[in-house]
Amino acid sequence: MFFDHGYFMGGMHVIWWVFWLIVAVAIIAIWSPGRGRRSSDADAAPLDILQRRLARGEITPEAYEQAKALLDRDAGKS
């Protein structure tokens, strides 16, 4: 009935420890706020995002001015 130095079914208890560890990690991952978000860009205003992109060097100052003009124009329509 007992095999492998007293462990039932060849160490089946190890599988249960791994199972509960996976369950615990999944629960923590689900309940952790803000996990999985890349940045706060999802909640930021478009002009803030544009300014950050300019600061990081992702866009040129000319592209920034064009996009800002579009945003200002669209904001004026509302």
Q: Can you give the C-alpha Rg of the chain in angstroms? A: 27
Question: Does residue 3 have a pLDDT over 90?
Answer: no
Q: What is the mean pLDDT of residues 65-72?
A: 91
Weakest mean pLDDT among 8-12, 22-26, 66-70, 72-76: 8-12
Distance CA 50, CA 64 (A): 7
CA 62 to chain centre: 31
Give this prediction's pTM.
0.44
**pLDDT computed for residue 6 by the predictor:** 57
**Do 35 and 29 contact (CB within 8 A), yes or no?**
yes
**Do 72 and 45 contact (CB within 8 A), yes or no?**
no
**pLDDT computed for residue 22 by the predictor:** 95
Question: Does residue 62 have a pLDDT over 90?
Answer: yes
**pLDDT computed for residue 10 by the predictor:** 53
Domain ranges of the chain: 2-31, 40-77
Of the chain, the end-to-end C-alpha distance in Å amounts to 77
